A and B are shown apart, each in its own frame.
Chain A
Amino acid sequence: MSQGKVVVAMSGGVDSSVVAALLQQQGYQVSGMMLRLWSEPGREASNRCCTPESMAIARRVAGQLGIPFYAVNAQESFRNIVVQSFLDGYAAGGTPNPCLACNRQIRWEFLLERALALGADYLATGHYVRLQRQPGQPVRLFEAKDQHKDQSYVLHVLNQAKLKHALFPLGDMTKGKVRQIAADLNLPAATSKESQDLCFLAGQDYRDFLERHQPQLSQPGPITDRAGHKLGEHTGLAHYTIGQRKGLGIPAAQPLYVLAKDTANNTLVVGFEDELGGRSLLTGPVNWLSGAAPQTPFEAEVKIRYSARKAAGWVTPLPDGGAQVDFAQPLRDITPGQAAVFYVNGEVLGGGLIAQPSPQSHPANPLAIAVE
C-alpha cells in the first residue's frame, strides 16, 4: 500500500539519492525534482548545487529507481531572493547566510509549491535533521543523531505549514551509513567533493562577486577605533570580516581585530581582542517553529553560525517579535546577519537574524555587560 505521494528534492548527491531509494522501499510513491539555481552568466557549469554533471547523475538515479524526475527552473527567484538578500546583507554591513533564504523561500516554498501542485503529500530532502509528529501537536524539529552532520541550523526557518509536508529520512543516520546504503544499491554519485562554498559563487571568491555586484563595498575608506580616531585606510568593506586580524596594515602594540563595518560611513571599526563580540545579542523577527513565541524567558543552547558550537544562555522573547540572548560566557564572533538559533534538549525552538549592535536598545538587561 502506498504511504502517500512524496517529492524528493534531488541534487545528484548521495544523501538525496538515498532518500529517494529509502522512501521508495518504504512504500511511498516517489518523484524526484531538482532545482535549477542561478549562477552568473558563464559560470553555470560550476554551480555546485546544479552542475550539468550533478543533474545528469540525479537523472540517472531516478532512472535506476524507475521514478519520474523533473528539473525545475528557479533561476529568477533564486537571483531575486537569495542572491539579492546576500548583496543587501553585505551592503548593510552584515555577513548574511544565503542558505537560510534559500531554504525558506526556494526549497521550502518555490519547490514545495511545485510538489504540492503535483499532488504530493510530502517534500523530502537529504537534510540531516529529525522530526517528531504527534497527533494534534505541532510538528517538532530536532537535531540530527549524527551531530557532525546536523543541519538543523539552516532549517530553523521552517514553519508548521511547511513542516507538515516535510520528511527528513536521514536524521537518524550517520553519513557512513548513508554511503553504505548508496553503495549497496549501486547508486551513482557525484565524484566531486562536498563543499561549503556558496553554490552561486561557482568557485569564485565572494569578494570578487561583491566587487562586481556591490561596487560601493570595494571603495577605500578610513579605519578607525571605537572612538572614531583614524588609524589607517581600508581597501573596501567587502574585503573584511568581523573578527579578522590579518591584513589590516596598522602597526599597533597589540593585535587589532575588525569589530564592525559601518557601511553608512564606509568605515571599518577595529579594536583589541577583548572588544570583540560580547555577552548578549538582539535578533530581528524570530521564527518560532511551533507558531507561537514563548511567554517567558527560557534557558537554551544558542548557535550563532552554522559551524559554531552551541553556547548556553537565556533567550528573552521581545514584544517587537525579536529576542534578546544573554550568554553565560562572552562570545567573540557574534556576527550581524547570521542567525541565532535556539535549542532546548536538541529541539529547535526558533531563531532570528542577529541585528547590528546598538547598545542603547537593551540598557535594562542586568546580565548584559557593556561592550566597551
Chain B
Amino acid sequence: MSARQWTYLDHAATTPLDPRVLQAMLPYFNEDYGNPASVHSYGQRAEAAVEAARANLAAQLHCAPHELVFTSGGTESNNLALRGAALAARQQRGARHLLVSPVEHDAVAKTARALAEQFDFELEWLPVDGFGRVDPADVARRLRPETALVSVILGNNEIGSLNPLAEIGAICRERGIPLHSDAVQAAAHLPIDAASLQVDLLTISAHKFYGPKGIGALYVRQGAPLLPQQIGGSHEEGRRAGTLNVPLIVGMAKALELIQNEMEEQGQRLRSLRDELIQGVLNAIPDAQLTGHPRERLANHASFVFEDVDGNALLMLLDDAGFACSSGSACKTANPEPSQVLLALGLTPQWALGSLRVTLGKDSTPEQVQALLSALPALVARARQLELA
C-alpha cells in the first residue's frame, strides 16, 4: 500500500492537524503540564493558557469567554446541549416539546430520540425542502410555549446544505425558546457569530478545522438554562466536570484562529474547486444527482447520489484507486441503512444507498479534483455492474 498515491477527500470526517497548531500545543504536554485547577504556579500557568485560549475562542465566536464550555468534542457538546437544556426547561417551566430538524447528525438526532424515549419528551421533526433546508416559517408555526428546545444544524455533514440560522434564531429569541445549532461542519467554512445568529447553544469540534481530536466546545449563552450532564468537580462553572485538557484546548483556539483568518481566501478557492467537481461529476456520470443545495452549501462539500449503486462498494473501489471519500450510508460493518438525511430529502432507497461525499480541504489541489474526475465515471460504472446486495 505504500506504493499507492493517496488523495484524501474526506475533510468532513476529519482534517490533518495544522503544524502551527501542533507547535502551539507541544509545551503543554510536558513543560507547562500543570492542572489548571491547582493552586500552585504550575496550575496557574496552565490556567493562564486555558483562559487565553478561551478568550481567543470567544473573540472568534463573538461571545463572552465564560459562555464557552470545553468538552471532549462535537458529540459531547451536542449531548450536553440537548440533554442539559431540555431537562432544564422541563425543570424550570414544565416544557416537554422538542423541535428538531430531520437532517441532524446522529449525535443530535439520537440524543433527541433518547430524550423522547427515556424522559418522555414529545419529539417533533421539522420539515425540510428538497435541499434539506429548514424554512424559518415552519419553525414559527410549530413553536409552542412549552417547546423546551429547538435544534437545527448550521451546515449539514452529509449534504452540505446551510440552514438560515439567523432567521430561525430571531424567531426563537422573540418567542423566548432556546435554540441549539450544531456548527461542527460550519466552523471551518463560515464566520461564526453567536450573537448575530441569536442561538443559545452552539457546538464546535476542533478536529474538523485542523485542530486535534478529542476537544470541542459548547457555547452557552449567558443565562441560558442548562443542567450539567457530567458531575464532579466545579470546573467550567459547574457546567461540565473534569480536568481541563490544556494542550488540546490551546490547540483548538489556535486552530480556530488560523482557519477564521484564512477563511476568506480559502473559501473562494474551495468553492471554485467544489463547483468544478460538482459540474464534472454531473456532466460525466449518468443517473447522478447532487444532494443538498447547489449554492447555499459548505464551501468544501460536494455530495451525490447515483442510482443503483452500492455506496459501500463504490467507496471500496475508490479507496483501492487511492481516493479516500465517504458516503451517507457507509458503514464499516456493511450493514447499511439508507441514510435518514437522504430519505428526508425524499430520495428512494434505490438512490439513497448509492451516496458519495467528497469534501475538500486546505491541502486539496485542482490536480486532485481532476484525478478524481478522471477516475470516478469508470468506478461508478464498475460498481453498477456489481450485483446489488
Interface residues of A (CB under 8 A from B): 31, 34-36, 44, 52, 55, 59, 66-68, 70-77, 110, 113-114, 117-119
Contacts and interface: CB of A to CB of B under 8 A. Distances in A.
B389 A75 contact: yes
B320 A72 contact: no
Nearest to B329: A73
A77 B389 contact: yes
B336 interface: yes
Contacts of B383: 117
A249 B310 CA distance: 53
B334 A118 contact: no
A117 B319 CA distance: 13
B341 to A, nearest CB: 19
Contact of A72 (B1, B312, B385): B312
Interface of B: 1, 310, 312-313, 316-317, 319-320, 331-336, 382-383, 385-389
Contact of B320 (A55, A71, A77, A119): A119
The 3 closest A-B CB pairs, nearest first, are A71-B334, A36-B334, A73-B334
Contacts of B313: 72, 114, 117
Given A67-B1, A71-B333, A71-B334, A118 B320 contact: yes
B1 A68 contact: yes
Contacts, number: 60
Contacts of B317: 117-118
Contacts of B389: 72-77, 110
A67, A72, A119: which has the most chain B beta carbons within 10 Å?
A: A72
Contacts of B386: 113-114, 117
Given A75-B389, A77-B389, A117-B382, A70 B335 contact: no
A175 to B, nearest CB: 28
A76 B312 contact: no
Contacts of B320: 31, 68, 118-119
Chain A: interface secondary structure?
mixed
Contacts of B312: 70-73
Main secondary structure of the interface of B (DSSP, over half): loop
Given A71-B331, A110-B387, A110-B389, 7 more contacts: A31-B320, A66-B1, A70-B319, A72-B316, A74-B334, A117-B386, A118-B316
Contact of B332 (A66, A71, A117): A71
A200 to B, nearest CB: 14
Nearest to A120: B320
B311 to A, nearest CB: 10
B8 to A, nearest CB: 15
B388 A76 contact: yes
A36 B333 contact: yes
Contacts of B332: 59, 71
Nearest to A55: B333
Nearest to B310: A73
Contacts of B334: 34-36, 70-74
B227 to A, nearest CB: 34
Contacts of A31: 320
B7 to A, nearest CB: 15
B335 A117 contact: no
A44 B331 CA distance: 15
Given A76-B388, A76-B389, A117-B386, A36 B335 contact: yes
Nearest to A118: B320
B237 to A, nearest CB: 40
B207 to A, nearest CB: 20
B372 to A, nearest CB: 18
Contacts of A71: 312, 331-334
A113 B387 contact: yes
Contacts of B319: 68, 70
23 contacts: A31-B320, A55-B333, A66-B1, A68-B319, A70-B312, A71-B332, A71-B333, A72-B313, A72-B316, A73-B334, A73-B335, A73-B336, A76-B389, A77-B389, A110-B387, A110-B389, A113-B387, A114-B313, A117-B317, A117-B386, A118-B316, A118-B317, A119-B320
A259 to B, nearest CB: 40
A44 B319 CA distance: 27
Contacts of B310: 73
A77 B334 CA distance: 13
